[in-house]
Every structure is written in structure tokens, then in C-alpha cells.
Amino acid sequence: MDDPQSFWMLNPLNLWGDYGSILAGGFTTSPWQDEAGRLLLQRTGPYVPAAAYSNSGFVVVTDTCREQLLRDFPDVRLKPVVKHQIVELHWEQWSRDGDMAEELPDDHEPESYVLHGEHSEECARAMPDLWELDLDEGIRSSTSRHPAKSELTVDPSTWTGAHFLITIPNVIPIHLVTDTGKQWLLEHASDGFSFRETILGSVEPRASESGDALV
């Protein structure tokens, strides 16, 4: 019998705190979608990781990564992303061993790398096409809060079998991957994520959940 899958929360790249999250994953401000439901991405360029998780709660992948992802996981859905505000900044050339003090924005706010810069259409054109992962609810979860941190428990008996998924309930969706999904990201997109293991256990459905949330 195969070993059971573990489930991992996707977190932003663990680099320079929130600065690394913004630089690797970008962000959105209101409105965060256009009328067609496409993500309005704000980030630096032209370098963009093959895939990255943002503190704003989305995962964006490049066109090349999308093609490989669909070859290996044909059921994954993706939506095109609008390069809404792209500011030229070559942060990928910075030393990752230093404290980046010389690279900080004047106000020390990580979003200022983008918000205080000008959109560069030339830079946007130099970037690959980008896609947002559009994930289904795939496992029931509950969050318990401790003094130091919150912990996420997921119920393997409710798992739909997807290797890239969000939790139920999804008022604030939590992006998860299985061991299989994590290994794929480490092989194809290691420069855009960190991972945090969840706790496996029984989770009772909430009264507010619809009866057909999971089959």
C-alpha cells in the first residue's frame, strides 16, 4: 500500500521577509480583477520566477511552467493574468546572503518597489505570458490558534485526489499541495515558494458548509 500523502501550505518565498514575497510573487490592489475576471498583477520585471505564491493569496506561473504543469496534471485550470503594473527592477541580481539594506525603499514598505515606480510597457513585453492557478476546493480543514502561530489540520478522508487545491471552507482560501505537488514545484519552480506542513486529522464540517461541497 502506498504511503498516505502529506499536505503542505503554500507560503511566499522565504527571502528577506515581506520584501522577498513582493519581489517574487507580486501583489494586487483594488480592483484586483478586470471585468473578465483576470488578475491585475502588480510586480517587478522583467525577471519573474517560473511560479510563485503571493501574500495577496494567488499563485502565478509563466507560460512555460503552465505547459509543463498541464502535461503532468491535465486537470489543473489556469486563467490569464493582466500585467497591470510592471516596474523594472533586477532584484534577482542582488546577493541573497546580505541584509539588502542598500536596496530598501525609502519608506521601507515592500510594495513601494512597485507603487512608487512607473509602469514599463517594454518591461512587460519582455516578460513571458503569465497565468493564475484556478484551484478547486479539495480537502476539509480547520485552523487552531496557538500563542506563537496558527496550525492547519486537514482531513485526508475528504481529499478529492487533487495535488494542487484549496481548503474547505474557503472564505479565505488556503492553497495546498500534496507531497506530489510539492516535489513538482521543487523541481520546476523552486524560486517562488516556501512550504509549511499541515496536521492530518478528522475535521467536522461547519454548519455553514453546503451539503454538496465534497462528493
Percentage of the chain beyond pLDDT 70 is 90
Q: Establish if 32 belongs to a structural domain.
A: yes
Q: Establish if 75 belongs to a structural domain.
A: yes
Burial (CB < 10 A; 0-12, 13-18, 19+), residue 96, is exposed
pLDDT at 100: 76
Nearest alpha-carbon partner for 165 in 150, 106, 156: 156
Contact 14, 8 (CB under 8 A): no
pTM (2 d.p.): 0.88
- What are the residues whose beta carbons fall under 8 Å from the beta carbon of 4, sequence distance 6 or more? 156, 200
For residue 114, report the phi and psi dihedrals to the nearest 5 degrees: -100, -50
Question: Across the chain, what does the average pLDDT equal?
Answer: 88
Q: Establish if 48 belongs to a structural domain.
A: yes
**What cell was used for 114?**
512597485
Q: Establish if 41 belongs to a structural domain.
A: yes
179-188 vs 63-72: helix crossing angle, rounded to 10: 140
Q: Establish if 196 belongs to a structural domain.
A: no
Q: Establish if 129 belongs to a structural domain.
A: yes
What pairing do the DSSP bridges indicate for beta strands 199-200 and 150-154? parallel
Contact 19, 186 (CB under 8 A): no
Q: Establish if 97 belongs to a structural domain.
A: yes
Euclidean distance between CA atoms 138 and 158, whole angstroms: 8
Euclidean distance between CA atoms 116 and 88, whole angstroms: 12
Q: Establish if 145 belongs to a structural domain.
A: no
Euclidean distance between CA atoms 92 and 48, whole angstroms: 9
**What cell was used for 17?**
521577509
The one-character DSSP state at 167 is E
**What cell was used for 80?**
490569464
Low-confidence ranges of the chain (pLDDT < 70): 1-3, 101, 145-149, 170-171, 206-215
Domain hosting residue 112, numbered range: 14-133
| Tally of structural domains, the chain | 1
